[in-house]
């Protein structure tokens, strides 16, 4: 009997070629500085996460949801009750009425929401305006969507960082598809004003340009200033995706639950992508957060909660050699260290961690092409004892 054998040649994994879609991306600065902080046993004011626990009522609500058998797939856009609570919150605070059924989607954190926006809107060769310094997920997400980032740098003066709207306007071209906007702004602490919103509206009026408005720090705006969510403004709201984060608002960054709100036509395209890149978000946390949102006090009181921590940190360093930049929002404080050292920002942050015992993040890491300004960013979303320990170390410089 004849036998037929087929020989399959295997290729060693070491010789397989993989052409990276993100050839310039390596380990993030947050991982690098957090690892160094752990190695040196430094106070970690680098990565932006609280070192205190959330409200036990929130974890209790999630536990109750699990016990009540809310453990299978929820609807793809999210648990209806949670979307309804979000819609009610937005209407109450910002005066914009989103339809919970068709205009709000629960996401696996804000980063997934941003990626999904870009994948749903940006086609190969489309341009996306990025205002630098910028959160590190923006540019890789644009590139993975096939888009081309176009950079506009914020300007720095004695009043802090500002957006040069004339340069934003000059960057609008026929290929411009979307503007990435972030307010309150990470890393600078800049907050959009009514004048900024008017300038933005004037720029996009009459165009097909969309806006992705990253508002994850929406409840961290200080000194009595209101958060200018783009959904407050009908002309901008009709072309904007609004992104927010329960992780930031409720001190649970590890839960990775957020949401995106947008007009129905935009949301329909968003959901086409969302259903395939994540499908949906874990059920018990959605149900638990929805129950917790019955009481608006936790997010309404958040500005005062974090402003006290900001002021504690700023007051502790007011007689130091650091120059405090304005921090109108977020839980970040940028400082100018040029009176202390002429080291580049990354080297200064590494020295600060290893020799002084406090970790920070170089603001240069938030630029595509590293821009040296002699500024590092601290996170004050920490227990008072943690902040006091850091202050004591930094005062010695």
Residue 9: predicted pLDDT: 56
Residue 322: predicted pLDDT: 98
Residue 10: predicted pLDDT: 57
Residue 11: predicted pLDDT: 55
Indicate if 33 and 86 belong to the same structural domain.
no
- pLDDT digits 0-9 by tens, 226-254: 999 999 999 999 999 999 999 999 999 99
Look at strands 176-182 and 160-162 and give their pairing.
Answer: unpaired
In a domain, 60, yes or no: yes
Longest dimension (CA), the chain: 94
- pLDDT digits 0-9 by tens, 310-361: 999 999 999 999 999 999 999 999 999 999 999 999 999 999 999 999 999 9
Indicate if 38 and 132 belong to the same structural domain.
no
Contact 368, 392 (CB under 8 A): no
Indicate if 221 and 289 belong to the same structural domain.
yes
For 141, the 3-state DSSP assignment is: helix
Contact 168, 150 (CB under 8 A): no
In a domain, 214, yes or no: yes
Indicate if 323 and 371 belong to the same structural domain.
yes
CATH number for 155:
3.40.640.10
Residue 26: predicted pLDDT: 84
In a domain, 268, yes or no: yes
> If you search the block for the tokens 């306007």, which residue do you land on?
169
In a domain, 97, yes or no: yes
Q: What is the Cα–Cα distance from 179 to 126, expressed in whole angstroms?
A: 11
Sorting pLDDT into bands at 50, 70 and 90, what band is 13? Answer: low
Q: What is the Cα–Cα distance from 203 to 208, expressed in whole angstroms?
A: 11
pTM (2 d.p.): 0.94
- pLDDT digits 0-9 by tens, 251-280: 999 999 999 999 999 999 999 999 999 999
Question: Of 266, 295, 324, which residue constitutes the final position of a domain?
Answer: 295
In a domain, 364, yes or no: yes
In a domain, 372, yes or no: yes
Indicate if 115 and 80 belong to the same structural domain.
yes
> If you search the block for the tokens 């709100």, which residue do you land on?
261
* Helices and strands, number each (H, E), in the chain: 15, 15
Adjacent-strand bridge partners of 375:
336
CA pseudo-torsion sign 294, 252, 229, 104: negative
CB-side neighbour CA atoms (13 Å) of 62: 15
Indicate if 122 and 152 belong to the same structural domain.
yes
- pLDDT digits 0-9 by tens, 48-102: 999 999 999 999 999 999 999 999 999 999 999 999 999 999 999 999 999 999 9
Q: Is the pLDDT of residue 220 over 50?
A: yes
Contact 89, 293 (CB under 8 A): yes
Q: What is the mean pLDDT of residues 176-191?
A: 98
Domain count, the chain: 2
For 17, the 3-state DSSP assignment is: coil
Sorting pLDDT into bands at 50, 70 and 90, what band is 12? Answer: low
- What is the residue range of 87's domain? 56-295
Sorting pLDDT into bands at 50, 70 and 90, what band is 28? Answer: confident
Indicate if 195 and 279 belong to the same structural domain.
yes
CATH number for 312:
3.90.1150.10
Indicate if 306 and 282 belong to the same structural domain.
no
In a domain, 15, yes or no: no
Indicate if 264 and 365 belong to the same structural domain.
no
In a domain, 374, yes or no: yes
Indicate if 233 and 152 belong to the same structural domain.
yes
Strands (E) in the chain, as ranges, are 43-44, 104-107, 127-132, 148-153, 155-157, 160-162, 176-182, 210-214, 240-245, 258-261, 323-324, 332-336, 358-359, 361-362, 375-379
Q: Is the pLDDT of residue 1 over 70?
A: no
Give me the chain's average pLDDT, please.
95
Question: Of 280, 295, 310, which residue constitutes the final position of a domain?
Answer: 295
Indicate if 92 and 111 belong to the same structural domain.
yes
Residue 161: predicted pLDDT: 97
Residues of the chain with pLDDT > 70, as a percent, come to 96
Indicate if 354 and 289 belong to the same structural domain.
no
Residue 158: predicted pLDDT: 82
Q: Is the pLDDT of residue 14 over 80?
A: no
Contact 118, 94 (CB under 8 A): no
């Amino acid at each position: 009997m004849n036998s037929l054998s087929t020989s399959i040649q295997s290729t060693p994994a070491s010789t397989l070629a993989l052409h990276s879609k993100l050839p310039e991306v390596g380990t993030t600065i947050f991982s690098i500085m957090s690892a160094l902080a752990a190695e040196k046993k430094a106070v970690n004011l680098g990565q932006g996460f609280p070192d205190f626990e959330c409200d036990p009522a929130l974890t209790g609500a999630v536990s109750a949801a699990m016990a009540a058998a809310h453990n299978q797939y929820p609807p793809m856009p999210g648990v209806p009750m949670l979307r309804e609570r979000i819609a009610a919150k937005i209407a109450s605070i910002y005066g914009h009425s989103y339809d919970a059924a068709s205009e709000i989607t629960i996401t696996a954190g804000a980063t997934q929401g941003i990626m999904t926006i870009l994948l749903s809107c940006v086609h190969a060769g489309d341009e996306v305006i990025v205002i630098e310094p910028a959160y590190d997920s923006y540019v890789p997400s644009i590139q993975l969507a096939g888009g081309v980032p176009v950079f506009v740098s914020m300007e720095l003066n004695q009043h802090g960082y500002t957006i040069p709207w004339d340069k934003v306007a000059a960057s609008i071209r026929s290929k411009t598809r979307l503007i990435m906007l972030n307010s309150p702004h990470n890393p600078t602490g800049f907050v959009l004003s009514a004048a900024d919103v008017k300038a933005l509206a004037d720029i996009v009026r009459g165009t097909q340009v969309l806006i992705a408005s990253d508002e994850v720090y929406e409840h961290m705006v200080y000194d009595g200033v209101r958060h200018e969510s783009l959904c407050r403004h009908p002309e901008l709201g009709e072309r904007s995706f609004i992104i927010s984060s329960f992780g930031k608002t409720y001190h649970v960054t590890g839960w990775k639950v957020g949401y995106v709100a947008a007009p129905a036509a935009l949301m329909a395209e968003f959901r086409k992508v969302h259903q395939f890149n994540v499908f949906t978000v874990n059920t018990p946390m959605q149900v638990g957060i929805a129950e917790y949102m019955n009481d608006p006090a936790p997010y309404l009181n958040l500005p005062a909660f974090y402003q006290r921590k900001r002021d504690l940190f700023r007051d502790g360093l007011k007689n130091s050699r650091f120059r405090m930049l304005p921090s109108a929002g977020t839980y970040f404080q940028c400082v100018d260290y040029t009176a202390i050292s002429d080291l580049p920002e990354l080297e200064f942050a590494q020295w600060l961690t290893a020799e002084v015992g406090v970790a920070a993040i170089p603001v240069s890491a938030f630029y595509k092409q590293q821009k040296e300004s002699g500024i590092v960013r601290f996170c004050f979303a920490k227990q008072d004892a943690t902040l006091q320990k850091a202050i004591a170390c930094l005062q010695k410089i």
